[in-house]
Structure formats: C-alpha cells, structure tokens
Chain A
Amino acid sequence: MSETKGLTRQQMADRIALAFEDGWIVNLGVGIPTQCSNTDIGDRHIIYHSENGVIGYGPVAPAGEEDLNLVNAGGQNVTLKPGAAMVHHADSFAIIRGGHIDVTVMGAYEVACNGDFANWKVSGAKGGGIGGAMDLAACAKRVFIILEHVTRSGAPRLVERCALPVTARGVVKLVATNYGLFEPTGAGFLLREIAPGYTVDEIRAATGAPLIVRGEVPPVRLAG
C-alpha cells in the first residue's frame, strides 16, 4: 500500500474509536482492534473490558514497569485506570452474556452484508481459535469489525455470504477497512466514508457484495 492511498491500520482503528460514545464499556479483540485504545477521542470516558476479567484497563505498560500478572485479551501487559476492578472468568463472561458490553471490536476474515462474520477458522483447517469471539459477537450490544478490504491475493473480504464458518449471524453494525467505512444493510454494504486515494468504482470492484452509495460520499473522518 502506498502512503497516500487508503488507511493505515492505526487509522482504521482511529475511525472505529471515533464511533465510541461517552461512558461506553468496550471490548477490543486481538490485533488491529487493540489499537483503538491509542486514539485520542477527547474527553469521552471509555471503560475497556478484557475477557480475562479486567474491567478498566489503560495503555500498555512502559518497558520495565510491567505487572506480569496483568494482561489484556492479546496478552499485552497493560496498566489500570482509576476505578478498575478484577473479576474471574465466569463473571467476566456474565458481563458479556448479560449484555453489559456496549461494543465489541474484532478482526475478521470475512464480513457479509447480512451482518454475518467469520473469524475463528481458516479454510481447510481442522481446528480453530474461538476464544471469546462467539460470546462477544452473540451478546454485545454492537459488533464493529476492522479488516483489510481484500486478501493478500486480492479477493474481497466484504462478501454477500460468508464462505468460512461463521462466528455469529446478523450482528455486524459497522465495518472499517483500509478502503473506507461501511455499514451492512442486508442488501449490500453502504459506503459511508471513503479512504483517501480511492474512487467509488475501485471500491465497488473490490467488494464481493452490492455497494450502496448515497450521494456524495465524505472522506473518512479521522479526528474529533
């Protein structure tokens, strides 16, 4: 990817983080979603929850100051914010299953325009890695997905129906890719914002489901 075309991984995370509202309890999945906690979203107060029972974690700990008994879902040694609390795993997932998480942000291999997504098993694999993804996807109030728009071989990841085994059905509300910001509508993907350097025609050609465009599409918002 050239520096002028499309969003970086951090910018994709930034765009999703800007959709967080004041007071939300947010669960960030492994990979790009973790970078949402780096975004400056002003004075909005966000409570980050991690599956392993950490409520209210903050940035990654500086080198040499890590507490080796404190990690986020990705195994990174994080810090705690004032007001943090620890619970055990069953209580942590009671928080999730009970609908107390406002949004879960996850990576995915595929997202379909009917709101299905797949992120636990790759094609041809015998096993997989579900982790907490199925609980979060089924039970959080909202599911936001961050992923590269196409595979390394150029195949679309935004598709009409998932070919891989799904993690949950009909749950995805918002999708950020390096090409822009999208909303699954059932009939297709609504292009809400467009990444720098891309045209609507290019995005349509790289998307495996109908692309819905309403009027002039604004550029991806990256601040405020």
Chain B
Amino acid sequence: MAAPTKQVAGFAEAVRDIPDGAVIALGGFAMPGVPYNLIKALHAQGAKQLTCVANTTGGAQQPRMPDIGMLVENGQVKKVICAFTAATRASDVLPFTKYYESGEVEAELVPQGTLAERLRAAGAGIPAFYTPTAVGTELAEGRETRVINGREYLLEYALPVDYAFVRATRADTFGNLQFHRSQRNFNPVMATAARMTIVEVDEDIVPAGAIDPDAVHLSGIFVHRIVRIPPHPEGIWPQRRQERQR
C-alpha cells in the first residue's frame, strides 16, 4: 500500500495544533529558505510563550516580511535562541530590540556554527559536543571547558525542538525535499532536530518516486506536513528590493 500523502490544504491547518510553550525552529538565512507563510500563519494562530530558534530575529527591510520580530510584537514569544539579537549592521534597529532591551523577551545568543551543530546533534543522537568556538570569550564564562590534545574546547548541548518550519523548492507526497541554491541553509538540520517538521514548498507537490532518490536533499522520514505556496500575493515569495518597495 502506498504511504499516505503528507500534503495538507493550507497554512492555517498546518499550524492549527501548535500549543502554547512550543519550541519552534525557523529555517532561512537572509531571505532564501525562510518559511514566511508558516510564520504568518503562526502569527494568526496566536500560540504564546513560544521559544523560537533561528539565525536572526528578522530583517530590517521595509515593507516587513513575517519574522520573529512580528511574533514578539504579537506577544507570542518568551525566548529566542539566535546567532544575532542585533542587526547585522549596527546602525539598523530591529523591532525585536525594544522588547529584548525592556526584558519582555529573553534571548540566548549562540554562534552560528554552534547553533547549526546543536541542532544537528539533536537529530543525530549526540547529547553534547566540544567545540573551539567561543573559547576565551564572554560566552564561555562560567561554563565547562576541556583541554583535548593541548587545545581548549567549550561544551555545548544538543538543541532538540518541538517543531521545525522549513521552506523548500520541491517535495514529493512522502515529504522528500529538494532545496534550490542557498535555500537549504539551516532547513535540513532543523528538520532532523524536530518532533514535527512542517514544510512550505515553492512548486507543485509531485508523487512519491518522482524525485530521483540520489537527488533528495532531505528524506521524507523527517517531514510530516507539506503545504504548496499559492501564487503572489496570497502566498509570500522572496522579492527583489525594488519589487518590495513598489
């Protein structure tokens, strides 16, 4: 018997049962691979006391795209775990910053490679690992280190999550995924770290078997729900700067 399809009809249905207090990893680096449609649906769904794991809390671009900053403004976020809590350009001010500075939301600042590896470790059954990253910095103060072969390393723990929100280019009904160019970024490791992975996909969902097994970037065993993104403007798509400003 063929496996049942993981496709669901819409974003609201895909995020409907996310409870208050969930830990959610959001893929993306700059614009590629950001699950904007799922973030927008989570904003409408309204779950609170969330912990959000992502590279950044969102961009400073105008008009705004759905991001963690928007969930924070909506009173949905308790904590973020990110590689940036400030903008990449120190002169840009993020919507997130005001809430962070006033103490309304907590943040755990993690080096980007450590963040990726903590997620990978969670999905790979590794409870913790030693890394040379951040040794000798403020981030390592008071934490466990160990000298191995003459070099000092910092102990970092795996970061399992409840949900991963992922954007991909192509999916089959079993959930096998392909990403286009740098859309891949954090998405596959977040999916492996999650108990449930929800995917928004750019192209029409194809039957299982239509993607060459050698060309699958993330196995469908890590994917639970898939939603096809509708055309603009109902669906949210990456746009060129000049198009966003129109």
A residues whose Cβ falls under 8 Å from a Cβ of B: 30, 50-54, 66-71, 74-75, 80, 86-90, 92-94, 96-97, 121-122, 125-135, 138-139, 165-169
CB-CB under 8 A from A89, the residues of chain B are 29, 112, 116, 184-186, 189
B residues whose Cβ falls under 8 Å from a Cβ of A: 29-33, 55, 83-90, 97, 100-101, 107, 109-114, 116-117, 119-120, 131-139, 169, 179-189, 217, 238-240
Given contacts A122-B90, A130-B83, A139-B132, contact A86 B137 (CB under 8 A): no
CB distance from A32 to the nearest CB of B (A): 12
CB-CB under 8 A from B112, the residues of chain A are 51, 89, 93, 130-132, 135
Q: Is the Cβ of A132 less than 8 Å from the Cβ of B111?
A: yes
Greatest chain A CB density within 10 A among B101, B109, B134, B182 is at B182
Complex CA distance for A30 and B131, rounded to whole angstroms: 24
> A128 touches which one: B29, B86, B132, B133 (CB < 8 A)?
B86
Q: Is the Cβ of A130 less than 8 Å from the Cβ of B109?
A: yes
Residue of B nearest to A75 (CB): B30
> B139 touches which one: A69, A70, A134 (CB < 8 A)?
A134
Greatest chain B CB density within 10 A among A53, A67, A139, A166 is at A53
> B29 touches which one: A52, A66, A138 (CB < 8 A)?
A52
> A68 touches which one: B31, B114, B185, B187 (CB < 8 A)?
B31
Given contacts A88-B185, A135-B113, contact A70 B32 (CB under 8 A): yes
Given contacts A69-B32, A70-B32, A130-B84, contact A166 B109 (CB under 8 A): no
Q: Assuming A52-B30, A130-B112, what are 13 further A-B pairs, CB within 8 angstroms?
A: A51-B29, A52-B29, A69-B181, A69-B238, A88-B217, A89-B186, A96-B113, A97-B133, A126-B100, A129-B84, A131-B83, A134-B111, A138-B134
Q: Is the Cβ of B86 less than 8 Å from the Cβ of A52?
A: no
Greatest chain A CB density within 10 A among B101, B180, B185, B189 is at B185
Complex CA distance for A167 and B116, rounded to whole angstroms: 18
